[in-house]
Amino acid sequence: MPDAPHDATFPYQHIYERDGFTCRFCGWNGAETFSHWWVASFSVVQIKPSSHGGNHDADNLVLSCHACAQHKGDADCDSLDEARDLVAANRAHAQTWFSKHVKRDG
């Protein structure tokens, strides 16, 4: 359980507010417009997942857009910086694939 009081209908509200309604991995700002919020499909994720010994304390939880949460996955990260680096590397790989197979630059 989170270590801060919460609304039972939205238990991680304090994480959303602490993180400014912004993905901690890519910086997507969900507070800008409802469309930004909707597209982001935010969730609260663990930096170090429970499967690797992580907990649900606020310092192990961050707000993430759907894409970044997918690219972070269940990876065992010990810090937010390590998780950001992993997501950035996965995003770069996806962008290369996109350029080659979808956009077909050239």
pLDDT tens digits, 57-95: 999 999 999 999 999 999 999 999 999 999 999 999 999
* 3 state DSSP class of 95: helix
Residue 61 lies in a domain: yes
Q: Cα(24)–Cα(7) distance, rounded to whole angstroms?
A: 22
pLDDT of residue 4: 52
For residue 1, is it within any domain?
no
102: tokens are 């979808």
Residue 73 lies in a domain: yes
**Domain membership flag for residue 29:** yes
Share of the chain above pLDDT 70, in %: 90
- 26 lies in some domain: yes
Total number of domains constituting the chain: 1
pTM of the model: 0.84
Model confidence pLDDT, tens digit, residues 12-37: 999 999 999 999 999 999 999 999 99
